[in-house]
Amino acid sequence: MSDLNEGPDRTFTVGTTLPGTLGRTGVISTPHGEIQTPAFVPVGTKATVKTVVPEAVRDLGAQAVLANAYHLYLQPGPDIIDEAGGLGSFMNWPGPTFTDSGGFQVMSLGAGFKKVIAMDLTGMQNDDVIAEGKERLARVDDDGVTFKSHLDGSTHRFTPEVSMQIQHQLGADIIFGFDELTTLMNTRAYQETSLERTRLWAIRCLAEHNRLTAERSHRRLQSLWGVIQGAQYEDLRRKAARDLVTMSEKDVADGGRGFGGYGIGGALEKQNLGTIVRWVNEELPVDKARHLLGISEPDDIFTAIESGVDTFDCVSPSRVARNGAIYSLDGRYNVTNSRFRRDFTPLDPEIQNYTTQYTRAYIHHLFKAKEGLAATLCTIHNEHFIVTLVERARQAIIDGNYFEFRDEFLGRYYAGAAAR
């Protein structure tokens, strides 16, 4: 681990590149092990992937998990997790961990929209927008964010320094800079103001991260990743990426560790996903990892990989699983539909995982009987499906048959979905 503790943050190593694209394989090295990339990172918001024990998450093939600083700050509190030895020890997860900064929750609390980054709000712009029936629970200013807890209504304050302090106490291997997440409904003028605010916050995050790294030398080293915003605007996205790279280089020159990688955040239109990610990754150093927040649909996964993304996370596989939506090689379907009442085949007969021993009929029954095991089995299956899909894409890059694999997989997946 000594090589991780000295000099600039060099956690990422490039492997095989994908010809004609920005795609590549690689390895992220952390104090709790390596992550072979590209990799999908399951979300364990409150230090748990809902309904599934950590051992099962490891067994389904996940290499790392991501938890949420906002939620863990409110409950049980970062001091408790710090006392437990950090996030991994607290939740009995032996592998690498990520925490996001809480910036996503700022947008969600402030505007009340669903927790997705893909939005379709063509022609609608309003800087004071809020979802129908929602109360604004967060207010942003140049110094930070004041918000009300969704648990008890108490008032709290996040600044870049506070976010770093919380994430250092949580002890994840990879942490993210505190940023303001705008929506596509915000005006161009507001996007520019917000981008500058996030840039200044990133400078403060780096300074506090360096201070805490020195102060907490008894804890394992953490890697800070800067977050790139800019919504759907090419010039803003490229500027944000260049600014963070320059900032990181200056920090290293001044004796700091700089950013170990970069997160690509912000709301965006699904149809422009690849274009926006490509703008950003064309500006970022090749030897730094890139993480895309909030992506898990198969077509988005392939688009992200080809655009140079190394890791990504999303709550969707587990969230839809709790409602009976199942990923399969022939598209998504809902196991609660009546036609599965007497279907005695596995959730996907061609995929082998823990749930293979159970039938669709049984899981259909569990949902109808409102048994918690239904959500557990479907979550294991869905997380395994997405984790394995990304593993197969990684291997296809190495084997030189990525495009053939992509076309065959997506052709079958969406043809099957259309036929259901």
How confident is the model over 163-182, as pLDDT tens digits?
999 999 999 999 999 999 88
The residue from 100, 179, 251, 348 that is catalytic is 100
Q: Are 125 and 186 in contact (CB under 8 A)?
A: yes
Question: What radius of gyration do the chain's Cα atoms show?
Answer: 21
Place of tokens 């209504």: 153
User: Helices 360-368 & 373-399, crossing angle to 10 degrees?
Assistant: 140
Q: Are 99 and 191 in contact (CB under 8 A)?
A: no
Q: What value does the mean pLDDT take over residues 337-363?
A: 97
| Averaged pLDDT, 364-388 | 98
Q: Clarify whether 120 is annotated catalytic.
A: no
The pLDDT, as a whole number, for residue 2 is 35
CB atoms within 10 A of CB 50: 16
Q: In the predicted model, what is the mean pLDDT of residues 128-136?
A: 50
- Residues of the chain with pLDDT > 90, as a percent, come to 80
Q: What is the pLDDT of residue 184?
A: 83
Say whether 59 is catalytic.
Answer: no
Interval 379-401 mean pLDDT: 98
What pLDDT is attached to residue 116? 42
> In this model, does residue 124 exceed pLDDT 90?
no
Average predicted confidence (pLDDT) for the chain: 91
**Cα–Cα distance between 314 and 308 in angstroms, integer?**
18
Q: Is the predicted pLDDT of residue 122 greater than 60, yes or no? A: no
Token pair recorded at residue 151: 């648990």
pLDDT in tens, 64-102: 999 999 999 999 999 999 999 999 999 999 999 999 987
Q: What is the mean pLDDT of residues 130-158?
A: 79
Band of the pLDDT at 1, cuts 50, 70, 90? very low
Percent of the chain with pLDDT over 70: 90
- Rounded CA-CA distance 37/267 in Å is 24
259 in Cβ contact with 240 (< 8 Å): no
pLDDT score, position 138: 79
Which DSSP category does 53 fall into?
-
- Say what the pLDDT of residue 102 is: 77
Instruction: Name 290's bridge partners.
Output: 262
CATH of domain 2-314: 3.20.20.105
Other CB atoms closer than 10 Å to residue 20's CB: what's the count? 8
Please give the pLDDT value at position 296: 80
Chain Cα centroid distance, residue 49: 13
- In the DSSP assignment, the letter for residue 174 is E
> Does pLDDT of 328 surpass 50?
yes
Distance CA 266, CA 136 (A): 19
Q: Is the pTM of this model over 0.95?
A: no
Listed by start position, the domains of the chain span: 2-314, 325-419
For 212-269, write each residue's pLDDT tens digit. 999 999 999 999 999 999 999 999 999 999 999 999 999 999 999 999 999 998 878 8
User: Per the residue annotation, which of 82, 173, 251, 313 is the catalytic one?
Assistant: 313
Per-residue pLDDT for 186 more than 70? yes
Res. 128 pLDDT band, cuts 50 70 90: low
